[in-house]
Each structure stands twice: as structure tokens, then as C-alpha cells.
Amino acid sequence: MVKDFLRGKRIAITAFDLENQEHRGIASFIKSTIKILSKYGAEVYLITSFDCNRKAKHTNYQDFENIFVNEIYDFLSVGRGYRQLFNSNTKYKFKLLLELSFNLFKLFKYNFLLKYKFYKVKKDFKYKNNLNDRTKYLIDIKGFISIKNIFHLCRLRSMRFIFKDPILNINKEDIDLIISSSPLSLKKKGSKNADVIQIIHDAIPIQISNHPERSWIFFNRLRDAHKNSECLYVSKESRKIVKNILKIKHSKSNRNEIIYPMPSLQIELLEKAFKIPSIRSIEKSFILFNSSIVETKKVENAINYFSKSNLPRRDFLLCIAGKMHKSEYCNYIKDLCKNHKNILLLDYVSETEKAWLFLNSSLLISTSSIEGFGIPILDALSLNLSSLGTSIPSYLEIKNLTKKNKINLVKQNKPSKWVDKLNSLSKFDIKNKSDKRHRINNFKIFQNNFERNFLLKIGDHLSNN
């Protein structure tokens, strides 16, 4: 693929999942998308709900721009747990309701047209030198499009508290394409404005009963996204499920609707991890569980399979990397692990630590009962790292991406087969630099092949815009 394939193109991406306190699979999708678009020459802008706290009238506009960029960098480096804050913090809830009342007044006044402000990042902006692993993607961001509380306003529409979809009209002279990284009740009007592509990851809030997102709200998000925009799906399975839910007929003319996510690993971090002998005092061979610690991931199954296998006796570790929430399920997982010296609950890991874990692991295990795609399995595939996963359709789809791979899929109701696979596992020596270098080389080849398909998909939409 030509290095300047996207030169001169300006692409805006919604930052909702990057604003959240915890970065999950969709955040990984956004970060890798930003990386590849920037790598091939596009100018990437983030559409954010953040608004600068200071008043422009006390300074000139250029200084105000710098103030805004500084503050949003600080905000994104920490993020915010919107749902938890709203449910637990009365002051935050009251302030947000006041803000939304004002936002709704403006929305009605301007006939549901969202007002926005552009902020560009200067080339010599010094803050870029202080970014952590969580916000490294900001190096590739050329600017921000600020729309106060845009995601809350879209949610109010999904809840049907307002009777029209918010309209995001950004002139094509400013932005060539807008990508909504997850379904939003949002639309654009007029041929002179940038088209919106909405990425559909899954229908999990509808498929399971105890998801924090209400199923009827998510259904409205999906329906509004399909009504107002062109939609792309991260897997054939996601497309099948979502279209069945929305009762949309599939046609062969829509065969180009799949856009597989890029691996969340990065070559720079893998090279950095290559030079690190150990993290978290991990010196032994280990298998890795890397995911959010929520019920659909069936973490307890991974723990039980590991405990019943011969791996603890062979001095293996089970490393569980994922944010431990203040929830009943996470407390349950902690109780399961408290008497197992060979099981490490690592909680949140940085991007560098994650790269080290994948680079040095003997196996990735994923016991998920449902996935829209499954980026950890894709990350393992990109390194040619052995992985053991549930035989769900999305994992089978990943397995079929390459003819030769080390992905083994087992039915969830066959515990003895899971244990047998673990018993036959060979150790990966974390001190063997040659084997680690081989994994990095595999990643480079995989990434190059995968990038081409991803870029062609984006290029098709840019040429039709």
C-alpha cells in the first residue's frame, strides 16, 4: 500500500469510548484506526463532548486553543465513568441535568443542528512529549471537534426523550468523512456535508439480560444508525445478528459491509517490550487471559480449567489481565483465586505491559460465551501465539482469516477437552530472545497484510463521498 494513500484526506472519529474511564475493545478499535489512518497520510480529528472550562474573552483565540488542547489531553488521560458518576454523585447529576437543559434549548433553537468548534493541534505542541500509554494515540491527532455533551444528547434521542435525531453537518471542505466508532442516534443532512459511517461491533446489550446498557435503548441506537447512515460491521456474525434483530434483509450487493478491526498491539510497544526482562515480577512461563472482567467472559471457566490441568504442577502461571471492578462478579473471581499462588490477578495493565504479556505468553485463553469480534484472539493470531478459545462464530471467523494458525476452539460444555488442551501445552521460554523476535516478525507481516484490506475499505467510502 502506498505510504501517502490517504494524503490530503481529513477524517473525524467520535471519541465516546476514549472518553470513558476504562478502555475496552471499542477503544482499542479506535486507537488502531487512528494509527493506521495517520500512518497513511490522513489528518485525523476527534469529535469530543468535552468543552473547555475557561472563557475565551479573557485571552486571545490562539491562547484559548492551547488551553483547550491542554485541558482535553488531561481529561482523556484519566477519562470519566459517566454511568457510575450519574448514579452515585448527586452534584454531578444535578450539574449534568442543568447543562443538558441548556444544550436541549440550543438544539431546539437551531432545529436540532449541533453546533461545533474546531481546535487544531500545533506541530510543536509540547504536551505530546508527556503522553502515557493510554493517550499515545493523541500523537496522531491533528485536532478536535468540540460538541458539548454530544454523546449525552444522542443518548437522549436513543431513550426517545427528544423526538428528532441530532444533526451533525460538517462541510466536506473541512472534513471528508466522519466515523462513528459505535452506533449513535445521529444523522447528517445535505450532499455538501461529510457522510457518516457507523461502526457496529455487536448486539450484546440486547442478547444478554444483565448488561448495564438497557436493551431497548441499544436497539434504538442500532435502528437510528441504520436509518441515518451507512453501517459497517466488525464481523459477519455481528452483521447477521444485528440485521436479524432489525429485520433487515441481507443482499449480495452488501458484501463489502465487513471491516475487521486492526490488532490492538503496536510494533513500537512490542519492540519496547522486547527489551524488558520482566513485568510484575513474572519470571515463570504463563498463560494469559486478557479481557474485561465481566460475566460474559466466563473468567471462572478459565480459572477452573487451569486449576484442573497439570499446568500448576508444571510451575505455570495464569495471568489474568483486566480491570477489577467493584462488582459482585469481580468479588467472585477474587474469591476463586485467593488460595491459588499460581494465579495472578493483574488488574488493569498498561499498553506496554499488555505487549509484554502477549510477547512472552505460552498461550492466550479466552472463555467468552459471546463476542462481537474478539480482539485478544486477533492479537494472538498476529503474533502466531497459540490460543485456546470458545467455539463461538466470531472466533471461528478470526481462525479462518489465515490458513495456518495456532487457534484451537473448544465448545463451552466440554471442560475435559479444555483441560486436555492445557495439559499438552509446551512452555514458552520468556528468556528466549530468538523466539520473541520471531513473534515480532510475524506481527509485521500480519499487520502489513491486514492494513491493506482495512485501508481499501476506508478508501472506498472516501471515493464515494
Tens of pLDDT along 301-320? 999 999 999 999 999 999 99
Burial of 58 (0-12, 13-18, 19+ CB in 10 A): exposed
pLDDT at 340 over 80: yes
Q: Is 190 left (phi over 0), alpha (psi -120 to 50) or beta?
A: left
Q: Which of 68-82, 146-160, 207-221, 364-378 shows the lowest mean pLDDT across its residues? A: 68-82
Q: Is 95 left (phi over 0), alpha (psi -120 to 50) or beta?
A: alpha
- Note whether 43 and 71 are same-domain residues: yes
Last residue of a domain, one of 259, 290, 305: 259
Find out whether 102 and 115 touch, Cβ atoms under 8 Å: no
Residue 204 lies in a domain: yes
CA dist., res. 45 & res. 218, Å (int): 26
- Note whether 297 and 201 are same-domain residues: no
pTM, to two decimals? 0.91
pLDDT at 8 over 60: yes
Residue 395 lies in a domain: yes
Mean predicted lDDT score pLDDT of the chain: 91
Residue 297 lies in a domain: yes
Residue 2 lies in a domain: no
The confidence score (pLDDT) of residue 365 equals: 98
- Note whether 101 and 171 are same-domain residues: yes
How many helices (DSSP H) and strands (DSSP E) are in the chain? 17, 13
**List of E strands, 27-176:** 43-48, 117-120, 141-146
- Note whether 255 and 273 are same-domain residues: no
Please name the residue that has the C-alpha cell 464515494. Answer: 464
pLDDT for 72-82, tens place per residue? 998 898 888 77
Q: Which three cell numbers stand for residue 292?
A: 474485561
DSSP annotation of 171 reads B
- Note whether 302 and 238 are same-domain residues: no
CATH of the domain at 30: 3.40.50
The confidence score (pLDDT) of residue 254 equals: 60
Find out whether 39 and 60 touch, Cβ atoms under 8 Å: no
Please give the average per-residue pLDDT across 273-291, as a whole number: 96
pLDDT at 454 over 90: no
The confidence score (pLDDT) of residue 450 equals: 87
Q: Which three cell numbers stand for residue 420?
A: 486436555
pLDDT at 233 over 80: yes
- Note whether 274 and 189 are same-domain residues: no
Q: Which three cell numbers stand for residue 365?
A: 485463553
CA dist., res. 95 & res. 331, Å (int): 32
CA dist., res. 103 & res. 124, Å (int): 34
- Note whether 296 and 396 are same-domain residues: yes
Torsion of CA 198, 202, 208, 214, to 10 degrees: -10
Please give the average per-residue pLDDT across 83-94, as a whole number: 80
Please give the average per-residue pLDDT across 44-69, as a whole number: 73
The confidence score (pLDDT) of residue 78 equals: 86
CA dist., res. 457 & res. 460, Å (int): 5
CATH of the domain at 396: 3.40.50.2000
The number of folded domains in the chain is 2
Find out whether 231 and 200 touch, Cβ atoms under 8 Å: yes
Please give the average per-residue pLDDT across 59-81, as a whole number: 78
H helical segments located in 248-386? 267-274, 299-308, 328-337, 351-360, 375-383
- Note whether 74 and 162 are same-domain residues: yes
Give the type of residue at 253. S
The confidence score (pLDDT) of residue 60 equals: 56
Phi and psi, residue 146, nearest 5°: -95, 120
Residue 456 lies in a domain: no
Containing 118, the helix (H) or strand (E) segment is strand 117-120
Give the type of residue at 33. T
CA dist., res. 357 & res. 360, Å (int): 5
Residue 463 lies in a domain: no
- Note whether 229 and 281 are same-domain residues: no
Q: Coil, helix or strand for 48?
A: strand
Residue 465 lies in a domain: no
Q: How confident is the model at residue 62 (pLDDT cuts 50, 70, 90)?
A: low
195: Cβ contacts below 8 Å, ≥ 6 apart: 177, 178, 188, 229, 230, 461, 465
The confidence score (pLDDT) of residue 287 equals: 98
Residue 309 lies in a domain: yes
Q: How confident is the model at residue 91 (pLDDT cuts 50, 70, 90)?
A: confident
pLDDT at 253 over 70: no
Give the type of residue at 113. L
- Note whether 339 and 228 are same-domain residues: no
Q: How confident is the model at residue 95 (pLDDT cuts 50, 70, 90)?
A: confident
- Note whether 334 and 383 are same-domain residues: yes
The confidence score (pLDDT) of residue 219 equals: 97
Q: How far is CA 275 from CA 190, 325, 349, 439, in A?
A: 52, 31, 18, 14
Which domain does 34 fall in, by range? 10-259
Q: What percent of the chain is modeled with pLDDT above 70?
A: 95
The confidence score (pLDDT) of residue 53 equals: 61
pLDDT for 194-223, tens place per residue? 999 999 999 999 999 888 889 999 999 999
Other beta carbons within 10 angstroms of residue 188's beta carbon come to 18
pLDDT for 20-55, tens place per residue? 988 888 999 999 999 999 999 999 999 999 886 655
CA dist., res. 47 & res. 150, Å (int): 9
- Note whether 429 and 295 are same-domain residues: yes
pLDDT at 394 over 80: yes
